Amino acid sequence: MRRLLTAAVAGAVLLAGCSGARLKVGAAQEGEVIEAEGWTPVVDDDVLGMKQRSLADAQKKAVERVVGVFISAKTRVSKAVTVDQNILANVSGYVQKYDVLSERREEGFYKTRIRALVLYKKIGSDLKALGLMRPEPPPGNPKVVVLLSARGGGAAQSGAAGAHAPHADPESAQDRAAAASAAVRRAFLERGFLVVDPKGADVPPADLVIQGEAESHELSGVNLGGFRSFRARVALSALKPGTGELVSQASREASGLDPTPQIAETKSLENAGMLAGEALAAEVADLLTRRVKVTVRVSGLKGLDDVQRLTEDLRGQPDIASVTLSEFQGGGAELAVATEGMAGPELGALLQGMKRYAFKMRSVTPYLVEVGAGE
C-alpha cells in the first residue's frame, strides 16, 4: 500500500506541470519550448525522490540550453559558479510549464524526458544584469580610450526662451563632455572592448583612440508643460594612435526631457553618446573581425631580397590577405599587413614560427609587431 501511495504522489509531482494544452517545440509567446532529458541514479528505496531529481535535472538542462544561446562556451566555463548560483539554482523561475514525454530506467539511471516552456527573455535579462552577456572581445582585445570635447551654450547659458550665450563656460563644457564620454565608454564596454581611463593624459597607452565632439542646445518654442527639452549630437572617430589612421566614424543625435534644464541636457548627451558609441563600436568590431591591419617592423634584414622573401612568405599564409612594403632603410623594413581576423599577438607568433629568419620579438600590441631578424 505504501509503495502504491508513493507512486501516486510521484505521478502527481510529474503531472503538476502538465496542465493545459500540450506544448509544441519552438518559439512561443512567453518563451521557447525545448525538449530535454534528465538523468539520476536509480534508487528503489526512494522512488519519489528519484523521480523528482530526474525531473529537476531535465528542467536544468532545458534552461542550460537557453543559457548557451546567450553566452559563449568560454564564458560558461569561466563564469560557471556565477551561472550555477544565480541561474541554474533557480530553474523553476525560468520554466513556466512542462510536459513529461517519457520516463524509463536505463543502465542504472532513471531518465525523464520533458518538453518545457523556458522564459528565455527572463534568462537573457538576468544574464545581462550579471554582466555575462558582453560579446567576446574583438581580435587582439584592443585597448580603447575615449577623448571628447563639447561645444554649445549648455543649460547654464540657456534662458527661459532657450537663448544661448555665444560662449559656454569651461566647467560646463567639461561636464557635458564627461556625460557624453561616459555613455560612449559604456557602449564600447558592452561590445567587449577593453576601455582604459585617460587619467588626465592627452593620449594614454591605447590601441584605438575614440575622438569626437558633443554639442547640445535647448529646443525652444514648444509648450512642454513645465519640462525642458534639449537636443544633442555626438560625432565620433576611431583612430590608430601614432599614425592617425582613421578606422571608422559615426554620429548620432538624441533628445532629453526633464523639468530641470541641466538634467534634460545631460540626458540628451548621454542618449546621443550611447547611440553613437553603439554604432561605432559595432562597426569597429565588425571591421576587426573581418580584417585587421597590423604594422610589422623588422630590423636586421640584409637587403631588399630579404624583404621580398619575407613578404612572399607572409603572403603565402592562409590568414594573411595582403602585405605591402611601407618603408625600407638601413636594414629595417616596415610592412603593412592585412589579416583575416588575426591581430598582433597571433601574427607575432606566426613570425617567430618562421625558423629561417630566427626572429626575436621586441614588442607586440594588437596593431604593431616589432621583431629583429637573425638576433
pLDDT value, residue 29 = 52
- Nearest 5°: phi and psi at 362? -105, -45
Dihedral of CA atoms 236, 240, 243, 245 in degrees, nearest 10, equals -50
Residues listed for the chain = 375
Q: Pick the most confident of 194-198, 238-242, 304-308.
A: 238-242
pLDDT bin (cut points 50, 70, 90) of residue 375 is low
Tell whether pTM > 0.75. Answer: no
pLDDT bin (cut points 50, 70, 90) of residue 163 is very low
Q: Which grid cell sits at 21?
A: 494544452
Tell me the β-bridge partners of 157: none
pLDDT value, residue 159 = 46
239 vs 139, higher pLDDT:
239
293 vs 113, higher pLDDT:
113
Per-residue pLDDT tens over the stretch 42-76: 999 999 999 999 999 999 999 988 887 777 666 77
Q: Which of 45, 48, 51, 36 is nearest to 109 (CA)?
A: 51
Please give the share of the chain, as a percent, with pLDDT higher than 70. 83
pLDDT bin (cut points 50, 70, 90) of residue 200 is low
134 vs 189, higher pLDDT:
189
Q: Which residue is associated with the grid cell 550555477?
A: 84
pLDDT (mean) for 121-149:
82
Average pLDDT, the chain: 82
Please spell the DSSP secondary structure of 291-346, one letter per residue.
-EEEEEEEE---SHHHHHHHHHHHHTSTTEEEEEEEEEETTEEEEEEEESS--HHH
Apex 282 CA angle, 278 and 287, nearest 5? 150
Please give the share of the chain, as a percent, with pLDDT higher than 90. 38
Query: What domains sit in the chain, N to C, each tagged with a CATH number?
Result: 2-129 (3.30.1660.40), 143-289 (3.30.160), 292-372 (3.30.70)
pLDDT value, residue 272 = 95
pLDDT (mean) for 335-351:
89
Lowest mean pLDDT among 55-69, 144-158, 211-225, 348-362: 144-158
Per-residue pLDDT tens over the stretch 252-264: 999 999 998 999 9
Sheet strand arrangement including 320-329: 320-329, 332-339, 292-299, 368-372, 360-365
